[in-house]
Amino acid sequence: MQQAPLSAHQRVVVTGLGTIASLGHDVDTFWNNLLAGQCGIDRVTQFDVTNYTTQIGAEVRDWNVEQHWDPKEARRNDRYTHFGMVAAKQAFADSGIDMAKEDPDRVGVVIGSGIGGMATHEEQLKRLFDFGPRKVSPFTIPSLISNMCSGLFAIEIGARGPNFALVSACATATHCIGEAMHMIRRGDAEIMVAGGAEATITPFSYAGFCSMKAMSTRNDDPKHASRPFDIGRDGFVMGEGAGILVLESLAHAQARGARIYCELAGYASTCDAHHITMPDPEGKGLSMAMKRAIASANVSLDQIDYINAHGTSTPYNDKFETLAIKKVFGDHARKLAISSTKSMTGHLLGAAGGIEAVITVKTIQTGQIAPTINLADPDPECDLDYVPNVKRAANVRVAMSNNLGFGGQNAAAVFKKL
């Protein structure tokens, strides 16, 4: 029997969460370490960093994908897919959805990656150059493309609904989550698994970012290297992992008696049309994304209690994001709690919006705001309340997560208590 399409005003809720990160291999461990102000950044161990200007990163350590996913499948796929698959499996289990009771045509997956299978690129190019074309793995192309995590997870659970991946640099996961929300609203699906995964702590990736002079070179003090909004910030610190949400229509979640974390109430995306890497110095694109996301959530500016900032710890981003927040909120900007959890997780690039969406949802659920650590000497141009160094208890009713990406990408998502 064909189902009637959902209303464009159908409400969308979060019913499942999954994370893999340097601070923990599950949501509870990750969240507790985050609230404690722990830092997941240390010297890189995955390759020899002796000749690199940046030698630190937020690696996922002491983790074996074969304990969580079929070893044969795992060996055929890239590390970014490992993170995405396991985080998606966590989120789906957390949601309590039983696929035997669902219409598989109404379940979709949108898990993106800003860069995709970088390790596969490097490994297989080396085989090509060292041994010739016949030695390149037949799994090379499926392993490196950015939509493979979405495809594999759909196979895992038998989801035949919308399935693809978005790529928009460091805004990728927020775009995936927001577009998944729209798919539920317009009736393309009842359930969507959405987020991002990334694994770019690799020799070639580091060489490229080091050449750009984008990353921190505070190699002698890794735990204090990521310091968003601090006058001493000198670049971002690379992280890796995944953050995944399970989204459902409110009606569907209520009908099956689901545990609901909160509502995903609004989302918007814009482009700066300014520069390939530097944000608009007037914050115009991000300002518009925030305004549109808030409007689409049908809440007022003064209802926003908390923002999980993009907060990369780069000189330009933190200053321009602060300016954009002031432009949007006016006097209310001074009343907002804002934090950059990249001070602890590092910057997960295309997965950043996924893991930060999980953080934003947990903030609403628990009434605890994770701090911005390493904020010892605030930049005078970054003069808002960034929840410095220590977590804070608060009744967070409505919260927003911001993400920006190379190419001028901006994305904002608004979450709300039911």
CA distance 282 to 221: 32
Per-residue pLDDT for 417 more than 50? Answer: yes
Sorted by where each starts, the structural domains of the chain and their CATH numbers stand as: 12-255 (3.40.47.10), 268-416 (3.40.47.10)
- At 123-178, the pLDDT tens digits run 999 999 999 999 999 999 999 999 999 999 999 999 999 999 999 999 999 999 99
What's the pTM? Answer: 0.96
Per-residue pLDDT for 7 more than 50? Answer: no
Task: Dig out the tokens for 96 from the structure.
Answer: 């309590």
The answer to whether residue 182 is catalytic is: no
User: What distance, in Å, lies between the first and last C-alpha atoms of the chain?
Assistant: 31
CA distance 45 to 392: 33
CA distance 30 to 28: 5
- At 195-242, the pLDDT tens digits run 999 999 999 999 999 999 999 999 999 999 999 999 999 999 999 999
pLDDT score, position 20: 98
Sorted by sequence, the CB contacts under 8 Å of residue 61 that are 6+ apart come out as 22, 45
Q: Which of 25, 210, 310, 382 is catalytic?
A: 310
Q: Which of 39, 121, 347, 382 is catalytic?
A: 347
CA distance 416 to 410: 20
- At 247-300, the pLDDT tens digits run 999 999 999 999 999 999 999 999 999 999 898 999 999 999 999 999 999 999
pLDDT score, position 10: 85
Task: Dig out the tokens for 119 from the structure.
Answer: 């390790």
The answer to whether residue 332 is catalytic is: no
State percent of the chain over pLDDT 70.
98
Is residue 401 within 8 A of residue 307, CB to CB? The reply is: yes
Q: Which of 170, 176, 262, 382 is catalytic?
A: 170
The answer to whether residue 310 is catalytic is: yes
